[in-house]
Structure 1
């Protein structure tokens, strides 16, 4: 964890801030809290300064916090001494004048409430020791918590690989059970059960199963619709393992499908292959998006590709960096992205193929390479 705290302190110096506040309210800031401290509970406040690391949580998590958040000072909020009071003491005791927080995770109103607690005219508890009432400047840096986590360390990459392996094994076991007559909901539930059997601690997100015309909806919810022969079925799924998630998509055929659907599938497969080949450290998200989008456009399908090509993945399904037509940031070695071009034609259906890639200077490592991308007919 020390290297992660070092990253925070480097940002504090750059921003000329005295502390970083991470507010974890029923899970909203949980990924960042766990990344910094190891604490996996759903409610806490974390404060990092140049010299101190403090985690405040409630009595439900006393033992868990002491076990997981090693290297952090653990303080427990009580009815007679609530969280704001504890943080107020820490902030005043460490002369925090400029406090950095992630505005995309923590509501400004909540931080203002904490600020009011610290600067309250009626608060005299710290004047006894000669500590004067502080004025605090709040600094909002949206997505700063994700920026700090873009580059994955060896342990994170190991966990991402394990998460992907679990999902791949489950999908391989699922395939023989898919047939005409089974429902989309049935496929989704069975896949999620298989991921649990393979060691998943949970699902990365609700499994997407879209068959036939439903395939034209990129994020279709599984329905009671029965799979029919002659249809394509798109399955987007992922597992969670030790806080890290996987994300992959495959589209399969049920029985004999039309020539048009075959051509659409091959176009998406080729576009995704081009994107995966392009993906490496030193290129931009725009460049990866362009090779996928340009190929589909040449095939007359560009207008049916309605979303970005990919996104970062780690403790959250959607993280930085972004892989889209408006992303000019150079991708960094050790970051992990998805490559998932798709085609969605109303009243016809859709195809999406997705892999997660660990970027290196010379290319990438595909975390779901064990799953074939040739059209599979069941």
Structure 2
């Protein structure tokens, strides 16, 4: 009906004004100390912005905005002793502009209006998060992540350079951002869910970037939090779920026929890993799991850079072997590079199968070898980073994973 009458923009403007005005009305107070604007003022202001834009365009809207700024400044000057903040004043000007925007793009304006209302409604929680929960280290890491993602990454050239054309600066920066972002997501999960489930969520998310790095990170935490040994070991095991899932995604993307051939071995590895990890969590001490976690940085930049350098080295080595030794060299490199990370190795093998340089039957064995080599490297990393007890849990999990995949392959 509003579309037929041409009032969709006006309706959107009124809705935005009423939504934000309702939130401000609940917090404006009463009596002489009440705030200067509430439900009616915000609703009228939104409609005023819409009508100004429709009648006089940008010029009239600018004049109205100037007059409103004078009124808002006067109201702020009168109440600055009681409330030094300017949130309501800025919100009123925002409502005016959103009302005007409704004449052009009501959907986008409404979405922005909902976000503004949410920011106003959750004022206390946002203040408490910024002042009490967010640490200086987390703030530093967050800013670093934003700088790398929004400044460095867009400036990185998207072309292959260096010997054999193996290095792509954009790809390297993207991988760095991915590792940092996954680490930050895991950190938030631990802060929100606690050690028992937070470490598991963190490990699965980090596993999509590098399960080997995740095992190393969990092992390092064992030294700081030995009471969480079983939980951290379970998290390290659960990172294999991400490995198996990503292997399936890579095979399905590069060569779907190879995924069909490897479906049952991958499913067996997935089920075995999930079952063993759940058993470790089930027997984890409840008292230890309920303890308050230690708050550190959002991610480990050193581990992320080490992983980026490792994968870049694998790519360079694969290009070198392909240039000098052809297909045999690439298969050997892909298999051995599984010691560092299985993802790049399997992508190389699947690409060879897609191009016809490697048959589907012959590709299954290198895929399993890459996963096996990667599992062996995780066992070594677990022993170095987390000690003997942590390594035992991880080794058992890796043996079950690899054994299940090879067994189903041979049985098939």
TM-score range, shorter chain: under 0.3
Q: Give 1 or 2: higher helix fraction.
A: 2
TM-score by length of 1: 0.25
State which structure, 1 or 2, has the greater radius of gyration over its C-alpha atoms: 2
Q: Give 1 or 2: higher strand fraction.
A: 1
